[in-house]
Amino acid sequence: MWLRKVLSKVAASNKDENFLGGIEKLQGIVAKFLSIAMVLVILAALVDLGWFLFKELVSEPFGFFSSTLIEIFGLFLNILIALEILENITAYLRKNVLQVELVIVTSLIAVARKIIILDFEKTSGIDLIGLAIAIFALSISYWIVRSNNPAPQ
C-alpha cells in the first residue's frame, strides 16, 4: 500500500509542472539560507570593524589611527559589498529573477575596493591594465543595462 503511494508520487513528480515547482521551492530554500548566512557574515564583519576601530582609538597615540586609512576604508567597503550581495539575494527572493544591474554594481564596488586598497609599489603594470579593463567593461555593461531599463521616476 505505501509502496503504491510512493510510486504514484514519483510518477507525479515526472510531470514538468511538478518538477519545476520542486526546483523553484529548492531555489527559494537555498536563497533563504544564503540570506541568513550573508547576514551572519555582515554581523561578523561589523564586529571585526568595531573591534579594529576600538583597538586603533585606544592604543598609543590615543584617538589617532596607527594604521593607514586605506585599511579602514577596505573594511568599510567589505561591509558595503556584503550588503550589496545581500540585496542581490533578497531581490532574487522578491522577484525570482537575478537582477543584472545589481550584480554589475556589486562588481564595480568590489573593483573599486581593490583599487582603493591597492599598494601601487607592489603592483605590476599588467595588474593595473587588468583592473582598468575590468572597470571599463563593467562601466560599459552598466551603461548598456541602464539605457535599456531606465529607472522609474
Between CA 62 and CA 139, with CA 70 as vertex, the angle to 5 degrees is 155
Number of separate domains in the chain: 1
Residue 116 is assigned to a structural domain of this protein = yes
Tell whether 61 is covered by a domain: yes
Q: Which residues contact 39 (CB under 8 A, 6 or more apart)?
A: 86
d(CA 20, CA 26): 10
Give the type of residue at 33: F
In a domain, 17, yes or no: yes
C-alpha cell of residue 65: 589611527
Q: Residue 57's domain spans which residues? A: 13-148
Q: What's the predicted TM-score (pTM) here?
A: 0.68
Per-residue pLDDT of the chain (153 residues; tens, 9 = 90+): 677 776 677 666 666 677 777 778 888 888 889 999 999 999 999 999 899 888 877 777 665 665 667 778 888 888 988 998 888 888 877 776 667 888 888 888 888 888 888 877 888 889 889 988 999 999 999 999 888 877 665
**CB-CB contact of 135 with 108 (8 Å):** yes
Q: Three cell numbers at 58? A: 585606544
